């Protein structure tokens, strides 16, 4: 008994004839009922494209056309969809033919995922996009390396206490007196600038804060040397803002506060066992504006006047707060960075002038933050106005 060949006319040759019987010795593998297929067609009835081919049509003399998948970008060389011709891409690859890297990726290759993440330094680069072929990220000025993680030669990453405002350059009133001190020969200098201001009860020091390059929250840190065994109990810290806060900027929250408009005042004590104190709350400062910070030295001892009491005020510095930095918040990756930064107390190394050994794990973050806060790598030159000290130092990375 014989069956009809039933060859698919779109994929068959020889007017739909088929093998009449299995032939073990003749045509390789010819099976009974096998139709004669066009070049790119398979199946007993010649009704399917060969693997790696698509678009089965009668008009095509070969039956199907070859997939145009990029061999490097296609997942396990699986070819393409037989109807649409779309290829199955590797993880970081896109495009109909799997010939392009996903955004924020580069370097299409044989690798398992096809492309590599740009992995641009969050502070040293402008964003996380890089050149498709070289992987080069877009670096801020004077920042270099594929990922923009290093300062150019002759330039530095700004450290967290880069902005230092010396008391001895401030405006002193009451009976406060500048005190110049020679640098020590045998150990690290524990203060900055030429010296200090000796503050007494009812004296004040006004610092002018300028050269802020990034609008964000800063911790104001007061650096001092105690002169007596007890702590100085009452120092008022008054921040005067220039007119207006940008309602679209990161300091806009201030506009919601009822007391906004007047000077912002807070109180600190200066413990005798410390050389610095962090003022709370943090201050939101805006780039390009000028601020006055006034320290009013009230009572050394709240129970009695102590006219003989004094304290040596070295400087104030403004340390960027990690929770105010865009790449340390908002996404799981960023939150992880902030956790690491806080866990190793990376910011606290910058509260005092003399720094303990900074853990390696902090250094990467510190470079990124320095590039972000200053907007570039910076060249070490002295400030001609003399109103603040820039400390030029690398982290030894
Ligand atoms: Ca000083």
Q: Residue 240's domain is classified under what CATH number?
A: 2.60.120.260
Indicate whether 346 pLDDT > 70: yes
Q: Give the list of residues 6+ apart from residue 33 with CB closer than 8 angstroms, or none.
A: 3, 5, 18, 19, 44
CB 185 within 8 A of CB 176: no
What is the Å distance from ligand 1's center to 388 Cα?
A: 9
| Token pair 């990922």: residue | 147
What is the Å distance from ligand 1's center to 196 Cα?
A: 5
Distance CA 146, CA 137 (A): 6
Give the number of domains in the chain: 3
Residues whose beta carbons lie less than 5 angstroms from ion ligand 1: 166, 192-193, 314-315
Same domain (yes/no): 186, 149:
no
For residue 128, what are its two tokens? 């996380």
Same domain (yes/no): 216, 347:
yes
Q: How confident is the model at residue 263 (pLDDT cuts 50, 70, 90)?
A: confident
pLDDT, tens digit, 9 for 90 and up, residues 312-345: 999 999 999 999 999 999 999 999 999 999 999 9
Q: Which of 207-216, 354-363, 385-394 has the lowest mean pLDDT?
A: 385-394
What is the Å distance from ligand 1's center to 222 Cα?
A: 11
Indicate whether 33 pLDDT > 90: no
The torsion of the CA quartet 79, 84, 87, 88, rounded to 10 degrees, works out to -100
Helix-strand-coil split of the chain, %, nearest 5: 15, 30, 55
What is the chain's mean pLDDT, rounded?
A: 89
What is the Å distance from ligand 1's center to 386 Cα?
A: 12
Nearest to 276 by CA among 204, 226, 237, 343: 226
Per-residue pLDDT at 386: 47
Same domain (yes/no): 232, 284:
yes
For 248-281, give the DSSP string: TSTTGGGGGSTTBTB-EEEEEEE-TT-SEEE-SS
pLDDT, tens digit, 9 for 90 and up, residues 77-109: 777 888 888 998 999 999 989 999 999 999 999
Per-position b or e across 86-108, b if 16+ CB within 10 A of its CB: ebbbbebbbbebbbbbbebbbbb
Q: How confident is the model at residue 76 (pLDDT cuts 50, 70, 90)?
A: confident
Indicate whether 239 pLDDT > 80: yes
Same domain (yes/no): 23, 125:
no
Higher pLDDT, 16 or 163: 163
Same domain (yes/no): 18, 41:
yes
Segment 190-196 shows an average pLDDT of 94
In percent, the amount of the chain with pLDDT more than 70 equals 92
In percent, the amount of the chain with pLDDT more than 90 equals 66
Per-residue pLDDT at 187: 87
Distance CA 270, CA 285 (A): 24
Peptide bond into 387 cis (omega under 30): no
Same domain (yes/no): 310, 204:
yes
CB 175 within 8 A of CB 203: yes
* Overall size of the chain counted in residues: 397
Same domain (yes/no): 100, 151:
yes
What is the Å distance from ligand 1's center to 313 Cα?
A: 7
Per-residue pLDDT at 388: 47
Of 121, 136, 156, which closes a domain? 156
Same domain (yes/no): 45, 122:
no
pLDDT, tens digit, 9 for 90 and up, residues 204-234: 999 999 889 999 999 999 999 999 999 999 9
Q: Which domain covers residue 57, as residue numbers?
A: 1-66
How far is residue 133 from each of residues 113, 118, 122, 126, 137, measured CA to CA in Å?
A: 16, 11, 20, 19, 11
Helix 332-343 / helix 360-374 crossing angle, nearest 10 deg: 120
Indicate whether 267 pLDDT > 90: yes
What is the Å distance from ligand 1's center to 195 Cα?
A: 4
pLDDT, tens digit, 9 for 90 and up, residues 110-145: 999 999 999 999 999 999 999 999 999 999 999 999
Same domain (yes/no): 45, 100:
no
What is the Å distance from ligand 1's center to 276 Cα?
A: 13
What is the Å distance from ligand 1's center to 168 Cα?
A: 6
Distance CA 271, CA 254 (A): 30
For residue 201, what are its two tokens? 């009860």
Per-residue pLDDT at 396: 41
What is the Å distance from ligand 1's center to 315 Cα?
A: 5
């Amino acid at each position: 008994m014989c069956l009809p060949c039933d060859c698919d006319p779109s994929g068959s040759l020889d007017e739909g004839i088929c093998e009449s019987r299995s032939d073990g010795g003749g045509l390789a593998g010819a099976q009974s009922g096998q139709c004669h297929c066009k070049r790119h067609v398979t199946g007993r009835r010649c009704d399917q494209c060969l693997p790696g081919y698509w678009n089965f049509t009668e008009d095509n003399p070969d039956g199907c056309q070859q997939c145009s998948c990029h061999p490097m970008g296609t997942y396990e060389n699986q070819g393409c969809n037989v109807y649409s011709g779309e290829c199955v891409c590797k993880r970081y690859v896109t495009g109909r033919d799997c010939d392009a890297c996903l955004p924020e990726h580069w370097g299409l290759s044989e690798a398992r995922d096809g492309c590599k993440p740009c992995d641009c330094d969050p502070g040293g680069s402008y964003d996380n996009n890089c050149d498709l072929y070289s992987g080069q990220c877009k670096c801020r000025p004077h920042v270099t390396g594929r990922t923009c993680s290093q300062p150019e030669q002759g330039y530095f990453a700004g450290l967290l206490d880069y902005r230092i405002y010396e008391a001895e350059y401030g405006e002193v009133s009451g009976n406060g007196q500048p005190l110049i001190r020679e640098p020590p020969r045998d150990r690290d200098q524990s203060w900055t600038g030429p010296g200090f201001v000796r503050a007494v009860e009812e004296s004040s020091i006004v610092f002018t804060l300028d050269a802020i390059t990034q609008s964000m929250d800063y911790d104001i840190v007061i650096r001092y040397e105690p002169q007596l065994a007890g702590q100085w109990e009452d120092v008022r810290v008054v921040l005067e803002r220039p007119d207006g806060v940008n309602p679209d900027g990161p300091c806009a929250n201030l506009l919601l506060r009822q007391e906004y408009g007047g000077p912002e005042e807070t109180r600190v004590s200066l413990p005798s066992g410390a050389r610095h104190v962090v003022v709370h709350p943090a201050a939101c400062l805006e780039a390009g504006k000028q601020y006055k910070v006034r320290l009013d030295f009230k009572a050394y001892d709240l129970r009695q006047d102590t006219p003989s009491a004094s304290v040596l005020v070295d400087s104030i510095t403004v340390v960027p707060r990690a929770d105010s930095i865009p790449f340390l918040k908002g996404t799981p990756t960023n939150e992880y960075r902030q956790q690491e930064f806080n866990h190793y107390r990376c910011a606290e190394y910058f509260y005092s002038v003399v720094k303990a050994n900074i853990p390696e794990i902090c250094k990467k973050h510190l470079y990124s933050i320095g590039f972000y806060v200053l907007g570039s790598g910076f060249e070490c030159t002295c400030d001609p106005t003399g109103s603040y000290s820039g400390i030029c130092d690398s982290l030894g990375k």
